[in-house]
Amino acid sequence: MVTHSSPLEATAFTAGRALSVGQYAVVEEGDRKYLALVTSVEHGNSLLEAVRAPREASFYLKSLESLGGVAEGATGNYYSVRLKLLGVLGSSFVPEVGQPPLVGSCVRPATDDEVREALRVDAGVRLGVVKAQQGVEAMMPAEAVFKHVAVLAMTGYGKSNATCVLVRELVKNYGATVLLLDAHGEYVGLEDDPELDGLVMVHRGAFNPFTMSEADFVNLAGLPPNASNEARALRLSFRLLRYLKGYSSSLDDDLRKCLDNAHGREVASCASKEFSEALRCVVNRCGDEFLRGANSAKQSLASLLNRLDDALHDLGRLLSDSAPVDLTSLVVPGKLNVYDLSEYDVNEADVVASYLLRRLLEERKRYERSLYEGDEPRGYPTPVVVVLEEAHVLVPANGNTETRYWAARVAREGRKFGVGLVLVSQRPRGLDVDVLSQTSTKLLLRMVEPEDLSQVRSSSEALGDLAELLPGLRPGEGLLLADGLPVPALVKLDLCQSLRRFSSGRFLKEWKDYASGGGDIGGLLGELT
């Protein structure tokens, strides 16, 4: 029975344990039915409420025992249930409450059909089932991915499994193009998933540097902000090499001066070399010319060569002029494209992620523009969803990674051009709040850290008091707040069997096996797959 209500919530007393946290309930006021979500349950006993001092407790306990004790259904037992009002059931669900239910209205568990009506589960991306009513599928509207998604949880509570389920369903049932930047090699096993036969491409290759902008390439060299002369020389050297390799047909005055001087023939020969050596060759031959007028030109050239050597040593395996130029070779349309970044450091991962984000956004803009202008389609031919694992590393709250810049661009502009973003993180407090706040769909698994909960609250008006549910979730359970989903849903997620799993129990077994002089290596490898 309802004892207090407002348009947002209600409190009810029940005699039995009929309702549990996370369950849907119905408040009945005559013919009017309100759907609600149980957010807390407290147990009390009316006989014990009069206890005000320790000496009184013994008397009341003896009285209670004489009436049946503290067992379920004992005299005086009751449950106080707090309900978040979600909307009004009827011929179609209305996700708002104008007038609150009257005090005295009855409360009961919702039926599966009533929950289906509210969740509108006839179509969408299946993530699992409703936790409290497992006969009801939990679906996320597919179009929500283009308004961006965040999958957030503390370590070990299923965020990678949730991500795997999401991308598997998108590719399998919608023919989606997905780019997944896999920080730890967890998703490479999807290549052998029978449900995704022929739909997964695992990438570990290099990029063609001539598809990068001059500014992006110069950024890779890590030149300090005050090295403007060195940056100019490197930019011109890169531009000249682009011309020599046939990626550009324009030759400005600065470049022509170098080709026309005594080193011109030697410079032209640089084009026959592999990219790293070719760039060193151009800088060696033309660096003096490009640095002319700078103070200490020779010293600047030596410094530039040293910095270039360091950059190419660190990033050389990512850059190859024999790598494909066409973006559809790097992100294959209609496939789940997994980029295995497990052997890359943070700087290299930043290069890969920012490069692909930039090219996808630019190429999708070209494609949409060509359609609008009635021209032959140009650019990347399909919408794409980009999944950033370890998003707090690549899109940090405090830090200026290139990925952070391009993720912010995609978060602001991507919806218009068919580029969706999925942020996956176990450290929400470390994520850029501006990017996180632009994810209109959130799948939130267990979190207990106050700073994480505060960050998530500040990025989602819809969460509110529902954040109190997050610390109580078990592994594989999540709270879904989705754009286009009328009500929040507590979800028991499906299992993604092909995901690589890291078990602390296995690590303990390795200790014991090593101490005993060896172990079943084959068995350990089997646990990894």
Do 60 and 148 lie in one domain? The reply is no
510 part of a folded domain: yes
If one counts every other C-beta atom within 10 angstroms of the C-beta of residue 164, the result is: 27
Do 451 and 344 lie in one domain? The reply is yes
Q: How far is CA 383 from the centre of its chain?
A: 17
Instruction: Report helix, strand or coil for 474.
Output: coil
Residues whose CB is less than 8 angstroms from the CB of residue 38 and which lie 6 or more positions away in sequence, other chains included: 19, 20, 21, 22, 23, 24, 25, 81, 82, 83
120 part of a folded domain: no
122 part of a folded domain: no
476 part of a folded domain: yes
Per-residue confidence band for 330, with pLDDT thresholds at 50, 70 and 90: very high
Q: Residue 19 sits in which domain range?
A: 2-110
Look at residue 251 in the predicted model and tell me its pLDDT.
Answer: 85
Largest CA distance in the chain: 110
Per-residue confidence band for 290, with pLDDT thresholds at 50, 70 and 90: confident
Most confident of 34-48, 94-108, 156-170, 253-267: 156-170
C-alpha separations of 411 from 54, 357, 403, 433, 483 in Å: 59, 11, 12, 12, 15
3-state helix, strand, coil in the chain (%, to 5): 45, 20, 35
Closest alpha carbon to 282 in 297, 298, 266: 266
Do 46 and 187 lie in one domain? The reply is no
Look at residue 191 in the predicted model and tell me its pLDDT.
Answer: 93
Which of 318, 344, 359 corresponds to the end of one domain? 318
- CATH classification at residue 330: 3.40.50.300
Which of 275, 301, 318 corresponds to the end of one domain? 318
Q: Where are the beta strands (DSSP E) in 209-340?
A: 336-340
Look up residue 36 and give its two tokens. 């609600």
Q: State the sign of the Cα–Cα–Cα–Cα dihedral 59, 61, 64, 66.
A: negative
> In the block, which residue shows the tokens 């050597």?
309
Per residue in 450-506, pLDDT (tens digit) is 999 999 998 888 888 899 999 999 999 999 999 889 999 999 999 998 887 766 667
What mean pLDDT comes out for the span 403-431?
96
117 part of a folded domain: no
Q: Give the integer Cα–Cα distance in Å for 236 and 254.
A: 8
Q: Are 89 and 118 contacting, i.e. CB atoms less than 8 angstroms apart?
A: yes
125 part of a folded domain: no
123 part of a folded domain: no
Look at residue 264 in the predicted model and tell me its pLDDT.
Answer: 73
Do 423 and 490 lie in one domain? The reply is yes
Percent of the chain with pLDDT over 90: 54
Q: Are 410 and 181 contacting, i.e. CB atoms less than 8 angstroms apart?
A: no
Residues whose CB is less than 8 angstroms from the CB of residue 197 and which lie 6 or more positions away in sequence, other chains included: none
Do 99 and 141 lie in one domain? The reply is no
Closest alpha carbon to 215 in 364, 76, 354, 404: 354
Per residue in 127-185, pLDDT (tens digit) is 999 999 999 999 999 999 999 999 999 998 999 999 999 999 999 999 999 999 999 99
Strand (E) or helix (H) holding 313: helix 297-315
411 part of a folded domain: yes
Look up residue 466 and give its two tokens. 């529902």
Q: How many domains does the chain have?
A: 4
Question: What values do phi and psi take at 7, rounded to 5?
Answer: -65, -15
Closest alpha carbon to 192 in 498, 501, 523, 524: 498
Look up residue 338 and give its two tokens. 């997994």
Look at residue 517 in the predicted model and tell me its pLDDT.
Answer: 79
Q: Give the integer Cα–Cα distance in Å for 281 and 247.
A: 18
Pairing of strands 32-45, 77-89: antiparallel
Which of 318, 346, 376 corresponds to the end of one domain? 318
Look at residue 49 in the predicted model and tell me its pLDDT.
Answer: 66
Do 168 and 237 lie in one domain? The reply is no
What mean pLDDT comes out for the span 366-395?
94
Name the H helices within 316-396. 327-330, 346-372, 391-394
Per-residue confidence band for 333, with pLDDT thresholds at 50, 70 and 90: very high
Do 504 and 421 lie in one domain? The reply is no
Q: Give the integer Cα–Cα distance in Å for 165 and 60.
A: 53
Per residue in 204-234, pLDDT (tens digit) is 878 899 998 888 788 777 777 778 888 888 9
Do 165 and 187 lie in one domain? The reply is yes
C-alpha separations of 131 from 136, 178, 374, 453, 473 in Å: 9, 28, 49, 21, 10
Is the overall model pTM greater than 0.75, yes or no? yes
Q: Would the pLDDT of 6 be above 80?
A: yes
Per residue in 383-399, pLDDT (tens digit) is 999 999 999 999 999 98
Q: Are 331 and 378 contacting, i.e. CB atoms less than 8 angstroms apart?
A: no
Do 305 and 439 lie in one domain? The reply is no
Do 353 and 466 lie in one domain? The reply is yes
Burial of 507 from C-beta contacts in 10 A (0-12 / 13-18 / 19+): exposed
If one counts every other C-beta atom within 10 angstroms of the C-beta of residue 245, the result is: 18
Do 507 and 489 lie in one domain? The reply is no
Do 346 and 260 lie in one domain? The reply is no
Q: State the sign of the Cα–Cα–Cα–Cα dihedral 148, 154, 155, 156.
A: negative
